[in-house]
Structure 1
Amino acid sequence: MRFQLTEDQLALRGGVRELLARRFGPQQLRAAIDEPGRLDRALWRELGAAGFFALRLPEAQGGVGLGLPESVLAFEEAGRTLLPGPLVATHLAAGAVPGAATGETVVAAVGNGLVEWLEQADVVRGDAAGAVPLRSVDPLTPLHRVPGAVAVDPVAVLLTAAEQLGGATRACELAVQHARTREQFGQPIGAFQAIKHLCAEMLVRTETARAAVYAAAVTADPADIHAARLLADEAAVRGARDCLQVHGGMGFTWEFELHLHLKRAWVRTHRAGDATESEESLAAELLAQPI
């Protein structure tokens, strides 16, 4: 079966991209880095007003009344722009925590022994007693470690995969843009075979992950979700690393956003379970199927 986005879905994705470009562009990203640990409450409320957190909430409850595929598109755009904050936790709390759907309440969640944005959260879902602050590799994702673990919501896994997909897409865009404009020996570096291979491999991984993430959003099958997560993690982490290679290492300097994509991808691999948990869950699902 061939899946294509509907006109409404394309409009939703375009609207989210336009909103984020206007409210969280390069200048706002730099400002966020200069003030690590501070969440832009005005932006959070604007996301709520736009329906970002209430996309799957029924209209009868004040939500948008859409489904998981539309939420995946929105979170893909969030990952593409490195939007900070406990987006997944607040989205999942819409309808259960007052103010979460409108962005008035920031919600954090305990999972896999970690909690993001604990100090900025108004509500924490799960037991955060004994939380210890960690030095996060990503300056835009403050972390605390907490004892114990909680069951992982498959939707959280899928939305995390969607963010990883957005990051992988952006890394691929940055690599291609640099390969076209950077010149060595009188020609763009994209003319060299090694660079061509890196960019091609990034694109293949990204589009493979995209197909898996979009399919999982349609089926909502746990096995599909965990498979999509594994592919999206690989596309995001390896894509950012390969993009660094295309940039010759200078992408890891602070004036480039690229190193932030790699660091965020590393952090996301530990959210909503980790790769090992997804591998185990996927294996269990496959073994349970009749031969």
Structure 2
Amino acid sequence: MRFTPSPEQRQFAASLHDLLSGADTPGAVRAWAEGRPEPGLKLWRDLADLGVTALRVPEECDGLGAGLTDLVIAFEVLGYHAVPGPLAESVAVAPALLGDGERLRALAAGRLLATVALPPHVPYALDADVAGLVLLVENGAVYRGEPETEPVRSVDAARRLFRVAGTGGALGATDGSAFEAGVLAVAAELLGAGQRLLDEAAAYARQRHQYGRPIGSYQALKHLLADVVTRLELARPLVHGAAVTATARDVSAAKAAAGEAAYLAARAALQVHGAIGYTAEHHLGLWLTRVRALTGAWGGGAYHRARVLAGA
């Protein structure tokens, strides 16, 4: 199974990268963590203008009707820039759960952010205090959710998690495809975050000098970063392949591999940066905590490895 991005997909990824490179994304993440979502919401409106929020919305509801391959292309870039907010929930999952055309149009246009809880593997709704629509999926049915007032603390301060209770009757039924789309989106996001950590570590290794030499010239660091490159390059085709097959086994393999590769990238980046990487002021921490949170989000490594074995 091979998936090679088309010229259009490459151009879309480049446009998205250019947009986010020109924005103060770290500033938006810090503001989001402090309970000031306005900069992040401005970023979401810019993403909507590029069509990101419309990717999985059907064309008849003013969306793009894009496939999972387009989704992973976009989410790699979103993870690379650590965009705040309920990305997987709003862009990948909610469109598969909603039959309401008006809400789907609002999602596509970026006027509405949605978040989702799917117990047991997604027990909390991310950023339910910012999202205009909170959904709860239980026993194959979709309900409107009501979040608790106080969030559950996450290792990533920009990820505000809320317990959710269902309200009223079911809005509809769902199969497992919404969950698989969410897992795949998070896997692609991890892949992008891991690549960003690798790039940050490589850049720092070139500019930081010890004993009159850049630290990147030392063999130990070369081997360390080479291991990260290898793991990311092995994970990438699994993520892209899962976007083609969309089977539970392949999606789980992608999530497990991407999580392990990104976690290795985080450890390596922290080793390369040394003590400065621990400081709250350094932006490296935004990706370190994001990777730590996402490796356990939408099912941890043990769960996904077990699904791979069960499907072998």
Q: TM-score, normalised by structure 1?
A: 0.89
Q: Is the 8 A contact 1:168 1:239 kept in 2?
A: yes
User: Which residue in the other structure is 1:90 paired with?
Assistant: 90
Partners of 2:208 and 2:67 lie apart in 1 by 42
Q: Whose strand fraction is larger, Structure 1's or Structure 2's?
A: 2
User: Which residue in the other structure is 1:120 paired with?
Assistant: 130
Equivalent position to 2:304, from 274, 278, 286: 278
User: Which residue in the other structure is 2:154 paired with?
Assistant: 136
Partners of 2:229 and 2:112 lie apart in 1 by 37
Q: Are 1:102 and 2:109 counterparts?
A: yes
1:1-291 alignment to 2 at 5 Å? Answer: 3-33=3-33, 35-36=34-35, 38=37, 40-91=40-91, 92-94=93-95, 96=98, 98=103, 99-111=106-118, 112-126=122-136, 128=145, 131=148, 133-145=151-163, 153-286=179-312
Deviates more, 1:126-135 or 1:218-227: 126-135
Please report how far the alpha carbon of residue 185 of structure 1 lies from its aligned counterpart in structure 2 after TM superposition: 0.8
Q: Is the 8 A contact 2:28 2:84 kept in 1?
A: no
Q: Is the 8 A contact 2:28 2:37 kept in 1?
A: no
Partners of 1:175 and 1:121 lie apart in 2 by 34
Structure 1: segments with no counterpart, 5+ residues: 287-291
Partners of 2:127 and 2:181 lie apart in 1 by 19
User: Which residue in the other structure is 2:172 paired with?
Assistant: none
User: Which residue in the other structure is 1:289 paired with?
Assistant: none
Q: 1:125-154 deviations in whole A, cap 9, x for unaligned?
A: 106557452222212111124589x96711
Q: Is the 8 A contact 2:277 2:285 kept in 1?
A: yes
User: Which residue in the other structure is 2:169 paired with?
Assistant: none
Partners of 1:120 and 1:220 lie apart in 2 by 30
Q: 1:146-194 deviations in whole A, cap 9, x for unaligned?
A: 589x967111000000000000000000111111111111111111121
Partners of 1:37 and 1:238 lie apart in 2 by 31
Q: Is the 8 A contact 2:115 2:126 kept in 1?
A: yes
Flag the 1:80–1:105 CA change in 2: closer, same or farther, 3 A.
same
Name the aligned partner's letter for residue 263 of structure 1.
T
Flag the 1:280–1:145 CA change in 2: closer, same or farther, 3 A.
farther
Structure 2: segments with no counterpart, 5+ residues: 137-142, 167-174
Please report how far the alpha carbon of residue 31 of structure 1 lies from its aligned counterpart in structure 2 after TM superposition: 4.2
Q: Alignment partner of 1:244: what SS?
A: helix
Please report how far the alpha carbon of residue 41 of structure 1 lies from its aligned counterpart in structure 2 after TM superposition: 2.7
Partners of 1:164 and 1:156 lie apart in 2 by 12
Flag the 1:100–1:13 CA change in 2: closer, same or farther, 3 A.
same
Please report how far the alpha carbon of residue 94 of structure 1 lies from its aligned counterpart in structure 2 after TM superposition: 3.2
Partners of 2:3 and 2:308 lie apart in 1 by 23
Q: Is the 8 A contact 1:236 1:265 kept in 2?
A: yes
Please report how far the alpha carbon of residue 11 of structure 1 lies from its aligned counterpart in structure 2 after TM superposition: 0.2
**% same residue:** 37
Cα RMSD of the aligned pairs, angstroms, is 2.3
